[in-house]
């Protein structure tokens, strides 16, 4: 779970993660990646981890961006299946069951939460402008990157360990564009990607600033497309 200045949300989020995963039949661990946070994010995680040994903090400075934080966590995670989610838990953690079931049924190596699907339930919608711009951006992503995927940006994605290592060692973008980069690389590598309908609620406090980050993401999208498959799959040190 990437976290940048999340001291207000983390106590509730960590408690919910522990409550949910402690009830599951499988073993688990949770890594919170503090992306150069300047508040009490690291202190809160460390305090929680003292009472909950399955939780740990990964911390670095300065701030590098959400993509770098996710990549750091994904490449150091020890599990056979590796999920990343957002600190706001906009997608309830119990939706993990849907991703697991889909992967088991289809044999997919990647399962992603998707908000626009017919069976998804948007309990609290985004502001109208944000939702409209998101749809426009996703149209561009489908045209230039990963056709057939309705929602590349939902922060709830599950990978097998093999796919995780294959994909994230090749990802290079440190900002919010990492979502569609990871899916583009996964598609290039031939991994099956399941798009799964989920419950989701808009939560105030997103770090994405539309007028700043939207153009950057569009630029990244065009650059990735122009690179070509061979360049996208070139491996380099990622963290």
DSSP letters along 66-119, please? HHHHHHHHHHH--SSEEEEE-TT-SS-GGGHHHHHHHHHHH--SEEEEESSSTT
pLDDT for the residue numbered 211: 59
pLDDT for the residue numbered 208: 67
d(CA 13, CA 203): 13
Segments in the chain below pLDDT 70 = 126-127, 206, 208-211, 213, 236-239
d(CA 53, CA 55): 5
d(CA 193, CA 151): 12
* Chain segment 133-160, per-residue pLDDT in tens: 777 777 787 787 788 898 999 999 999 9
d(CA 30, CA 52): 10
Report helix, strand or coil for 17.
helix
pLDDT for the residue numbered 160: 98
pLDDT for the residue numbered 214: 73
Q: Considering only CA atoms, which of 17, 21, 12 is closest in space to residue 1?
A: 17
**Cis bond upstream, residue 62 (ω within 30):** yes
pLDDT for the residue numbered 183: 96
d(CA 106, CA 122): 25
Q: Contact 69/75 with Cβ under 8 angstroms?
A: no
| Percentage of residues in the chain having pLDDT higher than 70 | 95
Angle at alpha carbon of residue 23, lines to 21 and 26, rounded to 5°: 65
Region 80-232: CATH code? 3.90.550.10
Tokens of 104: 């088991």
Could you tell me which residues are beta bridge partners of residue 156?
Answer: 85
pTM of the full structure: 0.91
Residue 58 backbone dihedrals phi, psi, to 5 degrees: -115, 125
Place of tokens 């122009």: 226
Locate CATH 3.90.550.10 in the chain. Answer: 80-232
Q: Considering only CA atoms, which of 181, 202, 172 is closest in space to residue 88?
A: 202
């Amino acid at each position: 779970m990437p976290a940048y200045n999340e001291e207000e949300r983390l106590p509730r989020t960590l408690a919910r993660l522990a409550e949910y995963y402690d009830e599951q039949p499988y073993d688990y661990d949770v890594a919170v990646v503090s992306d150069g946070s300047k508040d009490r994010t690291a202190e809160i995680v460390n305090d929680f981890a003292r009472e909950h040994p399955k939780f740990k903090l990964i911390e670095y400075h300065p701030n590098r961006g959400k993509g770098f934080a996710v990549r750091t966590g994904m490449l150091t995670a020890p599990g056979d299946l590796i999920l990343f989610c957002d600190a706001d838990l906009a997608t309830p953690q119990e939706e993990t069951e849907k991703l697991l079931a889909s992967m088991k049924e289809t044999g997919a190596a990647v399962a992603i939460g998707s908000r626009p699907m017919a069976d998804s339930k948007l309990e609290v919608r985004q502001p109208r402008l944000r939702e409209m711009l998101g749809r426009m951006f996703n149209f561009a992503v489908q045209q230039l990157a990963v056709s057939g995927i309705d929602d590349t940006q939902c922060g709830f994605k599950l990978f097998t360990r093999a796919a995780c290592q294959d994909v994230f060692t090749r990802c290079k973008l440190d900002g919010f564009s990492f979502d569609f980069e990871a899916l583009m690389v996964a598609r290039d590598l031939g991994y099956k990607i399941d798009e799964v309908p989920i419950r989701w609620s808009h939560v105030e406090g997103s770090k994405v600033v539309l007028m700043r980050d939207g153009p950057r993401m569009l630029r990244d999208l065009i650059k990735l497309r122009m690179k070509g498959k061979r360049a996208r799959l070139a491996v380099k040190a990622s963290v």
